[in-house]
Amino acid sequence: MIYSTAVVQLMAPLLVVGLALCLSGTWAVDKGNFKTCEQSAFCKRQRALKPGESPYRALLETMELTNTRLTLQLINDNNKVRLLLELYRLQGNITRVKINELKPLKPRYEVPDVLIREPTTEPLSVLSQDENGVVLSLGVESQRVIISARPFRLDIMEGSDVLMSLNSRGLLAFEHLRMRKDTFSYKVTSTVASVWDNIKRTTKEEEEKVEDGMWEETFKSHTDSKPNGPSAVSLDFSLPGVEHVYGIPEHADTLRLKTTDNGDPYRLYNLDVFQYELYNPMALYGSVPVMVAHSPQRTTGIFWLNAAETWVDISSNTGSSETPQTDVRWISESGIIDVFIMLGPTPKDVFSQYASLTGTQSFPPLASLGYHQCRWNYNDQEDVKSVDAGFDEHDIPYDFIWLDIEHTDGKRYFTWDPHKFATPKEMLQGLMDKKRKMVAIVDPHIKVDSNYKIHNEIRSLGFYVKNKDGGDYEGWCWPGSASYPDFTRADMRAWWASMFAYDQYEGTMENLHTWNDMNEPSVFNGPEVTMHKDAMHGSWEHRDIHNLYGLYVQMATAEGLIQRSGGVERPFVLTRAFFAGSQRIGAVWTGDNAAEWDHLKISIPMCLSMGLVGISFCGADIGGFFKSPSTELLVRWYQAGAYQPFYRAHAHLDTPRREPWLFGPENTALIREAVRQRYTFLPYWYQLFYRRDLLVHPVVEEGARGVTAYLPGKDEVWFDVHTFQKHNGAQNLYIPVTMSSIPVFQRGGSIIPRKLRVRRSSTCMEHDPYTLYVALNLQRTADGELYIDDGHTFNYEKKEFIYRKLTFANKVLSSVNLAPDAKFTTDSWIERIIVLGASKPSKVTLKTADGQEKQLEFDFNASMSVLTVRKPGMNAGADWTVTFQ
C-alpha cells in the first residue's frame, strides 16, 4: 500500500528535537497508587535472577525441522521442566522464536488478533550440527542462527557479526504452571493421575521454593487471588554494537530509552495514571512491546508479543572501552515467549517488517487530519453552536468538535442528555451544513442500571467480564457502579459494533464519530485504577489479556462505524489505551497531560516513540488537559501541534475556557495562522501517511528568542518554508524566533503538494487547486508524489484514487501516473509551481497529454532563487510536463 508505515519518516526529523530535550520534571502523580517492580511479585522474583549460567539446555536430539519450522526441546536442569522452542524464518527478514512449556498443566495464553495474518514463513535449512549445537541458514546474505545446546543460547549472525543473542546472559526463565501443593486437587493428581510424571520430576528436582506472592499477592487493599500460581516468562537479548534503543511506548520519557540499572525497568501495563509524571519509566495508558535498536551500521527490532504486565530492563556498557553493547531483558507475568526479531537492516526495513506483522496505520478520513476542537465539556447544543460560530467569526478552520462524557444521559453511553442535547440530529445537521463533523465519547464501562438498555442486553447476553467467583465484574467509574463488556469475545465485539447502527444509537448521523476513553480499562476502585487480574474473560484471566483490552474496544467501535455505513466510510475512532496493532484502527492521544511547558516538550518524544512502533496517528492535548496554559504556551502548543499527526485541543472541566479567540486579537491571529498552515499541508499529510521531507522544530521553551535545529544530511539542503531561505545540511542552525515562528524546513530534493486556499474545514477544500513546492537539491533534482481520493470512503481499496509521481530532473517537471489501473477524477488543478533553489529560465512550457504546448508566465526572485510559475492550470490527475528552458 502506498501509505506505508513511513509516518515515522515524517516524524523522524523531529528526532533531533526529541533527543535535545532537557531532563526535568516536577509534576505530581501519586506514585503510591502504582506498583514498582519490587511491589510486583513476578517482577521482583524475576529481577532477582542475576546473569550467569543458564539452567536451560537444548535437547538437540529432539530437534525437528520441517521446511519452515524448527522445533526443539529445552530442559531446565534444575527442575527438569521441559520447554518447546519453535523457530521460524518469516518473509521479509524476520525470525520468530516461540517458547512454551512442552506440556503445560493447562494452555498458556497466546495473543490473538494482533498479527494481521499468520506470517508467511520461508525455508530454513541446517548448515551444520554437532553435539554442541546447530547452525541454521536464514537464507539471506549469509545470515545464520546458531543454537548452542549447553547452556541454551541463540545467536543471530550475519557474516562474522553477531546481530543479536538470546539468553546470552542466562536470564531465560519460564515459570511452569504447577499445582498448588496445599490443595486437594494437587494431592489427587499426585497420587493418582500422573504418578509417573511426578516421579520423574521429583527424582532430581529441587524442591520448588514457594515464595511470597506466588499464589496470592496484595497491593494496597487489593488482593490478587492468583489461582494459577506463578507463570512469568523472561528472556534476555544482547545487542552488540548498539548504543541506542527506542520504542516500548507508552512512557512520558525521552525518545532514546535510558538504562534501568539504577531504577525500575520500563513498565508496560495499560493504566489510567492521574496527572502523570514526566521522565520516568512508569506505565501509562498504552503498551507496544516493540523495541528498535539502532546503530549507524544497522537497525533491528524486537517485538515481544505478550499482553500481560511486562517490564523491560535495559543496560548498556556505554562508557567502557569495549565494543558498545546494549542488553535488554523482557519480563512478562503470564503467557508465552513469542518474539519476532526484525533484522532490518535499515530503519525503514524494520518499520516495514513490523508493519508486515501488525499492519500499517489505518488510512484516516482526510478531515480527521484537520483541527479538532474539544473540551470537557461543551455544555449543550447552544454551546456547540456558538463555538462553531466562533470559528467562522474568527475565520479559523476546524473539522471536528468534540463532546466528552457530560453529553450523555447520566454517563450512559450511546445516549444523549435529554435536556442539554435534546435534538442531537439537529445539532449534527447544523455542523454538516458547514461540512463539519463531531466526535462523541463512548467509554467501555457500562452503568449498572436495570433501566439502561445497553446494560440489560450485555448482562442478559452474558457479555460482561466476570469476577473470580463467576459473577459480573463490577467496578467504579464515571457512572458509579459499572460493568465491563468482555471485548476479547468476537461475539461481544460484533454486538457492540451493531450498537452504532443509526437505528440503535439514536440521534446519530454519518458525521458523528467516536472516542474511546478509559479503556485501559480504568476502574476507579480497582488495583492500580484498573481491573483485578483474577477477573475472567472466558477461560482466560484478565492478567493474560490486560494490555489488549483497549485495542479490542477501539476495534469493536471502529467496526461499528464501518458497519453503520454499509462498509463504505472510513471510521475515525480515538483511543487512549492501545497495543501493538492499534495503528490499524485509528488515532491515539497521549492522555491527560498538563498545561506546562514540559508537557509540550514531552509530547514530541511521546508521539515519536509511538510512531517508531507503527502508531503514527498520535497527538497530545493542545494546551494541556489539566491546569490552564499561559497564552504563550497555548500559542506555542498550537504551533507545534500543527505539525503533529493528530491535532486536537482539549481541556479539563475545571479549567477556564480557551477557545482560540479568547486571548486577544493578536493571539487569535497567531493561532489562526498555525491552524491555517496545518491546512495548507493537508494534501501532504494525507498522502504521507507519509514521507520524509519536512523538518519541524517547534518552539517549546517559554520566552524563546531563538532555537537551534540540527539540519541533517551532509549533502542536503533545506528550505525554510516561510521565507524560502536555503540552508545547508549537517549543521546546527540557530533560528531566531518570534511568537509567530514555527521553524519548518523542506528538504531539497522533495516536491510537496499543498493547498493554499484554506477554508473553514478540510471538506470545503476538496476541489481546490494545488500549489507544488519543488525544492531542488544540489543535483538540481526533486521528486514527490501526489495522492488524491475522495477523502472518506474505502473506495480507494477499489482503486478509486489518483497516485502520481512528480519528478524534477534535467529542467523538466513531470507528473507520471504510478497507478495506471486506478481510476479517479478530480476537479483539482495545479494553480502554481514554486521552484526553490531555481535559476532563471528564459521560458517555461507546459506540455499536456494531448500534445498541446503552452507558454507559462513566471516570476523569478533572483535574490532568493525562487521561481513561481503562474497558473499552469492542468488537472491534478493528468499527465503533463513543464519544461524550464
Partner 1 sequence: MSCQFLLLLLLSVGVSAVEVQRPRGVPLSKRQFYEEGKPFTCLDGSRTIPFDRVNDDYCDCQDGSDEPGTAACPNGSFHCTNAGFRPTFIPSSRINDGICDCCDTTDEYNSGATCQNTCRELGRKERESLQKMAEITKEGFLLKQQLIHEGKRGLEDKKAKLGDVQGGKKDMEAKVEALRTVKESAEQPEREAKERHLKAWEDQKALIQKEKDSARMAEVFLELDDDADGFVSVPELLSHSELDPDADGSFTEAEAQGLLGGVDKVDAVAFESMWSNVKEKYMSESNADTPAPEETSREEINEPVSDNESDQYPDDDIPEDEDDDDEEDEDDDRDEHDYKTPPTARTEEKKDDDEGAMPPYDQETQNLIDGKNRVIVIETCKQILFNFGLGICFRNLEKEISFDFGPSSEFAYLYSQCYELTTSEYIYRLCPFNRVTQKSKFGGSETNLGSWGKWAGPEDSIYSVMKYEHGTGCWQGPSRSTTVKLTCGKETVVTSTSEPSRCEYLMEFTSPAVCQEPPSLEISSHEHQEL
Question: 669-674: which pairs have CB atoms within 8 A and are 24 or more residues apart?
Answer: 670/635, 670/638, 670/639, 670/739, 670/740, 671/396, 671/634, 671/635, 671/638, 672/394, 672/395, 672/396, 673/740, 674/635, 674/638, 674/639, 674/641, 674/642, 674/742
Backbone angles phi, psi at 110, to 5 degrees: -120, 130
The smaller minimum CB distance to partner 1, of residues 418 and 851, is found at 418
Distance in Å, CB of 660 to partner 1, minimum: 15
Provide the minimum distance between the beta carbon of 735 and partner 1 in the complex, in angstroms, as a whole number. Answer: 24
Q: Which of 130, 207, 469, 654 binds partner 1 (CB under 8 A)?
A: 654
Sketch the per residue contact string, 759 through 788, with partner 1: x for CB under 8 A, - otherwise. Answer: xx---xx-xx--------------------
Of 253, 417, 517, 598, the active-site residue reads 517
Q: Sketch the per residue contact string, 469 through 508, with partner 1: x for CB under 8 A, - otherwise.
A: ----------------------------------------
Residue 308 buriedness (CB in 10 A; 0-12 / 13-18 / 19+)? buried
SS (H, E, C) 753-799: EECCCCCCCHHHHCCCCEEEEEECCCCCCEEEEEEECCCCEHHHHHC
Q: How far is the CB of 871 from partner 1 (least distance, A)?
A: 4
Q: How far is the CB of 630 from partner 1 (least distance, A)?
A: 16
Do 63 and 148 touch, CB atoms closer than 8 A?
A: no
Nearer to partner 1, 237 or 378 (CB): 378
Q: What share of the chain is helix, strand, coil (3-state, %, to 5)?
A: 20, 30, 50
Q: How many CB atoms lie within 10 A of CB 207?
A: 8
Alpha helices in 102-229 (DSSP H): 184-188, 195-204
The residue (of 713 and 873) whose beta carbon lies closer to partner 1 is 873
First to last CA, the chain: 37
Q: 351 or 626, CB closer to partner 1?
A: 626
Continuous segment of H or E residues that includes residue 869: strand 866-870
Q: Which of 31, 103, 204, 871 binds partner 1 (CB under 8 A)?
A: 871
* Closest residue by Cα to residue 253 from 610, 726, 767: 610
- Residue of the chain from 182, 322, 433, 503 that contacts partner 1 (CB under 8 A): 433
Does 855 help bind partner 1 (rule: CB under 8 A)? Answer: no
Q: Using CB under 8 A as the criterion, what x/- string covers residues 560-589 for binding partner 1?
A: ------------------------------
Q: How many residues bind partner 1 (CB under 8 A)?
A: 27
**Is 592 one of the catalytic residues?**
yes
Q: What cell does 740 get?
A: 509567530
Closest CA to 637 of 596, 680, 590: 596
Residues 700-719 that bind partner 1 (CB under 8 A): none
Choosing from 327, 399, 544, 592, the catalytic residue is: 592
Using CB under 8 A as the binding rule, whether residue 117 contacts partner 1 is answered as no
When binding is defined by CB under 8 A, the residue of 633, 699, 758, 788 that contacts partner 1 is 758
Indicate whether 207 belongs to the interface with partner 1 (CB under 8 A): no
Task: Please report, for the chain, how many H helices and E strands are present, in that order.
Answer: 16, 51
Shortest Cβ 26–partner 1 spacing (Å): 19
Closest to 565 measured CA to CA, from 508, 649, 483 = 508
By beta-carbon proximity to partner 1, the closer residue of 105 and 662 is 662
Q: Which of these segments, 9-17, 502-510, 575-583, 648-656, binds partner 1 (CB under 8 A)? A: 648-656
Q: How many CB atoms lie within 10 A of CB 471?
A: 10
How far apart CA 275 and CA 270 sit, in angstroms, is 15
Touching partner 1, residues 15-54 (CB under 8 A): none
The reply to whether 435 sits near partner 1 by the rule CB under 8 A is: yes
Enclosing H/E stretch for 555: helix 549-564
Report d(CA 548, CA 310) in Å as an integer.
12
**What residues numbered 814-853 form the site for partner 1, per CB under 8 A?**
831-832
Rank residues 434 and 459 by Cβ distance to partner 1 and give the closer one.
434
Length of the chain: 885
Taking only Cα atoms into account, the Rg of the chain, rounded to an integer number of angstroms, comes to 28
- Candidate list 656, 703, 820, 851; residue touching partner 1; CB under 8 A: 656
Residue found under cell 535488554: 328
What's the CA gap between 141 and 216, in Å, rounded? 50
> Which residue, 398 or 803, has its beta carbon nearer to partner 1?
398
User: Least distance (Å) from partner 1 to the CB of residue 460?
Assistant: 33
Tell which one of 201, 256, 727, 757 touches partner 1 (CB under 8 A): 757
- Distance in Å, CB of 220 to partner 1, minimum: 23
Which residue from 193, 199, 568, 653 is in contact with partner 1, where contact means CB under 8 A?
653
Determine if 657 is a binding residue for partner 1 (CB under 8 A). yes
Nearer to partner 1, 250 or 768 (CB): 768
Residues 365-424 that bind partner 1 (CB under 8 A): 379, 382-383, 395, 419
Check: CB of residue 468 under 8 Å from CB of residue 434: no
Which residues are catalytic, by number? 517, 592
Residues forming contacts to partner 1 in the complex (CB under 8 A) are: 379, 382-383, 395, 419, 433-435, 653-657, 676, 756-760, 764-765, 767-768, 831-832, 870-871
